[in-house]
Amino acid sequence: METFTVGVDVGGTHVRFGLLGADGTLHSVCKRPRADVLPDEEPAKLGDVLHEYIAEQGVPVSAVGIGIPGTLSRDCSTTLKVPNVPALNGLPLADMLSRRAGVPVKLENDTVMLLTGDQYRLGLQPEGLVAGVYIGTGLGSAIFYDGKPLKGHNGLNELGHFPVPGSKERCTCGNVGCAENLVSGRYLQALRERLWPETHISRLFTEHGDASEIQAFLDTAACILAGVVNLLDPEALIVSGGVPAMADFPRAALEAAALEKCMKPRPAETLRLLWSEGADDAGVLGAALFAR
């Protein structure tokens, strides 16, 4: 009999759910307020919500995968630091939720889930080293080796907190001068408020793409991408997130600027830079695939 998995994508304000069949199709995708399904005062309630969601589907579910926007223990059993949902800090969340949901629950960083979904949708073979860079509200990253997340001593992978010159602001992590302060949707939003308050954020690249401040943003982004390529020499570099999905985002110009900073002849000549569309359900798909 066909078995299904459930994917969950936890965000600061919303939690998304989806059911994945063997053919790779997502069903019953929904979005619920985070305060309702993962309340600060009782995070384990998400286990009950999952139990109900699975019962409603009426199909056998073998496991649940959950993407967490924060730092997990190396074995992914415990949520160590989740800046947007501090109530999760230091909880043995995988066990808490498995018990209430009645099925195994597997946690991973949300960028690992995104890269899992992107590799699948782009039809990439899980071979060699694949890197993902996600420019959304913040700046995230994930690295896979032969289809598995590459893990260091603590399991961290935090490109957004790579120190760079040019930023004196304090980052959400507590340090000063993180890349995320200069390459993120949060930075673009601050730029817009300061320089072009009359422009809607969705038209930032359309109306101000030639401005020196936007060009400086793209140059820093190119440095970050080329740094990843020169350090890792990946089979493929996937770039995604809400920022590259914005109208008139200059993908070709950013790619050219990044290539200029990549070492030559290799990896510049062999680089496969792939843009993923950053669909809303990418994290859910990745989490369900990860659980499978």
**Which residue, 170 or 251, is less far from Zn ion as judged by CB?**
170
CB of 40 to Zn ion, least distance (A): 23
Q: Where are the beta strands (DSSP E) in the chain?
A: 4-10, 14-20, 26-33, 61-68, 71-72, 79-81, 105-109, 129-135, 139-145, 148-149, 236-240, 273-275
Per-residue interface string for the shown chain with Zn ion, residues 111-140, x marking contact by CB under 5 A: ------------------------------
Within 137-166, the residues that bind Zn ion by CB under 5 A are: 161
CB of 176 to Zn ion, least distance (A): 8
- The verdict on 179 binding Zn ion (CB under 5 A) reads no
The strand ranges marked E within 115-235 are 129-135, 139-145, 148-149
Q: Which CB, 51 or 186, lies closer to Zn ion?
A: 186
To Zn ion, the closest distance from the beta carbon of 180 in angstroms equals 6
Per-residue CA distances from 74 to 6, 78, 89, 106, 130 (Å): 22, 9, 15, 13, 20
CB of 97 to Zn ion, least distance (A): 28
If the CB atoms of residues 139 and 204 are measured against Zn ion, the closer one turns out to be 139
Tokens representing residue 90 in the block: 């230091």
Residue 16 CA from chain centroid, whole number:
14
Q: What is the total count of residues that contact Zn ion (CB under 5 A)?
A: 5
> Given candidates 133, 178, 214, 273, which one binds Zn ion under the rule CB under 5 A?
178
- Closest CB to Zn ion among residues 173, 279: 173
User: Rule CB under 5 A: which of 82-111 touch Zn ion?
Assistant: none
Q: Is 87 or 173 the residue whose CB approaches Zn ion more closely?
A: 173
Give the Cα separation of 107 and 101 in Å (integer). 14
Distance in angstroms (rounded) separating the CA atoms of residues 55 and 155? 34
How many Cβ atoms are within 10 Å of 137's Cβ, its own excluded? 21
- Where along the sequence are the contacts to Zn ion (CB under 5 A)? 161, 171, 173, 175, 178
